[in-house]
Amino acid sequence: MYEEAMPMTAPEPHSTPPAPPVPLAALLAHPDLGLRLLAGTGDVPLHWVHTSEMADPYPYLLGGELLMTAGVQLTDPAHYVGRVVEAGAAALAFGVTPVYDTVPAGLVEACARHGLPLVEVPPRTPFTAVARALWRLMAEARLYELRRVTEAQQSLATAAARPAPVPAVLGALASRLAGRAVLFAPDGTESVAAGREVPAEAARALRELAGVLGPRPGGPASASGDGGGLRLAAYALGGGDGLTLGVATDRRGPGDHTIAGVAVVLLSLLTAPHRGADVTVRDASLVRLLLGTAPAEVAGALGPGPWTVVHARGGYGTPFAAASLAAALGTPLVDAGGTASSGGTAPGGATGAVRLLLPASSPVTAQSGWTLGVGAPAEADELSAADAQAARALRRAEATGADLVRHRPGGIAALVDPDEAAAHARTLLAPLTGPLAETLRVWLSLHGGWDRTAVAMDIHRNTVRQRIARCAALLDRDLDDPDVRMELWFALTSR
């Protein structure tokens, strides 16, 4: 009936892009294309478009695409359609002429048998026109979703400022999602509810789904499923008191999870246990720490530790992505800008990164669409060092392409005085400009891989070779010597 969304779950093999899908019917209705549906229905979602004249396109498909072909190597329509369906393609578009004057009857029959929508593309319509039309429709859908999410965020923020904020936030959420929103107590009873009534079967399924989350350590932050003909979702609040938000809707839009994530953060703040002066002081202290205040000034108000600092970058550029990430990690304590009060760079040096604070007992797991760097657990007076550790871990994750990297304490580097190491690094690396030093750092982190460095830095591999050769000349060092590489890596990480 439902499936858990575990925090450390890897992305699905056929994960969809951040842009909302477009129904095939919208493409069929385009007046300039002249497309004609020969088999199947037009209500399937299209996530992208792909053209292939391979006899077996299976290895080149991601799933969810509109596959276009002129049938250059079509010999066995039944086998071809079977492979397309097995790959997860959403629909097949067949262009008539120059290979075929009409769509082969065997292809129409096979698509009808498998339930695969088949579209005829007339000779006057090039495949590129179909692809361009689909991208435009997806861009329009994405703009609509961005506006919808922005308006929902404003509505939720306004509701949170009302005299009875919890019912107001639930009411705004239910209204924006056109469904029902329920705040469940730890024992599974409805604490507060808003929105339209749902069938008893759906209400029971939603309560059971909320019970999947529960307060157990390391449990999932969210879960989704179906019941009573409705789409269901449940989210654990971050207040630590076992409350859960349940949502029941007729459909699940691309931006619904983001909207619910904003509501989760607001409700976590509004329902935090013992919300009084001491808690307000604690939260204010944590925010001040994130903004660069000296830990010694606020350590007394933080309460028992230790704490974990997380730096993150990603979120596909969607609005309120930081709020969704904070909800997934179970903390309302997030600095979405990643900037210190004195300027545009965080103390650890991660410009533009999202920074979060959460209790060390809360698990930090990989999140789809994000790259995370995690510092070692630290007490309040050590958070500045943990912040720097998280920033370094994030840089290492980005250089190596990992989803999550944790700070590795100890090692030989820990035996050297940081100030002395930084002074040595400045002297050793003085001949290198910023781009040269950064290229050398990434190249060393990837074990001298030319192609991987080029991809990581988004430059041509010949540029990488030229820069590394220039580094070797300016430093007068043999970069093939492992001792030299080790010394340079130590210097680059000690700057």
Considering just the CA atoms, what is the radius of gyration of the chain in Å? 27
Which residues, listed in sequence order, are joined to residue 46 by a DSSP beta bridge?
Answer: 22
Residues 338 and 393 in one domain: yes
Token couple for 460: 């041509």
Nearest by Cα to 378 from 393, 394, 391, 359? 359
Q: How far apart, in whole angstroms, are the C-alpha atoms of residue 277 and residue 165?
A: 18
Q: How far apart, in whole angstroms, are the C-alpha atoms of residue 205 and residue 314?
A: 33
Q: How far apart, in whole angstroms, are the C-alpha atoms of residue 475 and residue 469?
A: 10
The enclosing domain of 193 has a CATH number of 3.30.450.30
442 occurs within a structural domain: yes
Boundary of a domain, candidates 245, 270, 295: 270
Our measurement of the distance from residue 269's CA atom to the centroid of its chain's CA atoms, rounded to an integer in Å, reads 23
Q: How far apart, in whole angstroms, are the C-alpha atoms of residue 104 and residue 15?
A: 32
CB contact at 8 A, 377 and 308 = yes
Nearest by Cα to 381 from 283, 307, 280? 307
Residues 294 and 389 in one domain: yes
Sheet of 180-184: strands edge to edge?
2-5, 222-227, 230-236, 244-249, 180-184, 190-195
Q: Backbone phi, then psi, for 356, in 5-degree steps?
A: -135, 150
Domain containing 469 equals: 415-494
Nearest by Cα to 255 from 483, 426, 19? 19
Give the residue carrying structure tokens 């079509």: 74
Q: E strand or H helix at 288, and its extent? A: helix 277-290
Q: How far apart, in whole angstroms, are the C-alpha atoms of residue 15 and residue 237?
A: 26
Residues 71 and 91 in one domain: yes
Q: How far apart, in whole angstroms, are the C-alpha atoms of residue 286 and residue 289?
A: 5
CA atoms within 13 A on the CB side of 97: 5
283 occurs within a structural domain: yes
Token couple for 210: 């909320």
317 occurs within a structural domain: yes
Residue 33: CB atoms within 10 Å: 21
Residues 219 and 252 in one domain: yes
CB contact at 8 A, 232 and 180 = no
Which residues, listed in sequence order, are joined to residue 2 by a DSSP beta bridge?
Answer: 225
Per-residue pLDDT at 354: 87
Residues 425 and 401 in one domain: no
17 occurs within a structural domain: no
285 occurs within a structural domain: yes
Question: Which residues does 449 contact at the CB level (< 8 Å), separation at least 6?
Answer: 443
What residue type is 397 in one-letter code?
A: A
Residues 293 and 397 in one domain: yes
Bridge pairing between strands 91-95 and 65-69: parallel
Which residues, listed in sequence order, are joined to residue 23 by a DSSP beta bridge?
Answer: 45
Token couple for 9: 């779950």
pLDDT means per 10 residues, the chain with 495 residues, are: 36 46 93 95 93 93 93 95 95 93 95 96 95 91 84 84 84 92 88 90 90 64 85 81 87 83 84 54 52 58 74 70 74 63 38 80 84 88 85 86 82 63 86 90 90 89 90 89 87 81
Residues 306 and 248 in one domain: no
Residues 326 and 390 in one domain: yes
Residues 241 and 348 in one domain: no
Residue 416: CB atoms within 10 Å: 13
**pTM of the shown model:** 0.49
Per-residue pLDDT at 271: 78
Per-residue pLDDT at 281: 52
Residues 284 and 404 in one domain: yes
Question: Which residues does 438 contact at the CB level (< 8 Å), separation at least 6?
Answer: 457
The count of domains in the chain is 4
475 occurs within a structural domain: yes
Give the residue carrying structure tokens 């429709």: 137
The enclosing domain of 33 has a CATH number of 3.40.1390.20
Residue 32: CB atoms within 10 Å: 9
Q: What is the dihedral of CA 57, 58, 60, 62, to 10 degrees?
A: 130
Give the residue carrying structure tokens 């009808």: 112
Q: pLDDT tens digit string along 351-406?
A: 578 888 888 878 888 887 889 999 988 887 788 888 888 988 898 888 888 889 98
Residues 266 and 298 in one domain: no
Boundary of a domain, candidates 408, 435, 451: 408
Token couple for 101: 């004057």
Our measurement of the distance from residue 192's CA atom to the centroid of its chain's CA atoms, rounded to an integer in Å, reads 30
8 occurs within a structural domain: no
The enclosing domain of 479 has a CATH number of 1.10.10.2840
Per-residue pLDDT at 347: 40
Q: What one-character-per-residue DSSP string does 15-69 give?
A: PPPSSPPEEHHHHHT-TTT--EEEES-S--EE-EEEE---S--GGG--SSEEEEE
Question: Could you tell me the sign of the dihedral formed by the alpha carbons of 260, 262, 265, 268, in that order?
Answer: negative
CB contact at 8 A, 259 and 348 = no
Which residues, listed in sequence order, are joined to residue 393 by a DSSP beta bridge?
Answer: none
433 occurs within a structural domain: yes
CB contact at 8 A, 1 and 225 = yes
Exposure string of 260-287, with b = 16+ CB inside 10 Å and e = fewer, is bbbbbbbbbbbbbeeeeeeeeebbebbe
Boundary of a domain, candidates 408, 427, 460: 408
Residues 101 and 27 in one domain: yes
Per-residue pLDDT at 43: 92
User: Exposed, middle or buried: residue 226 (CB in 10 Å: 0-12, 13-18, 19+)?
Assistant: middle
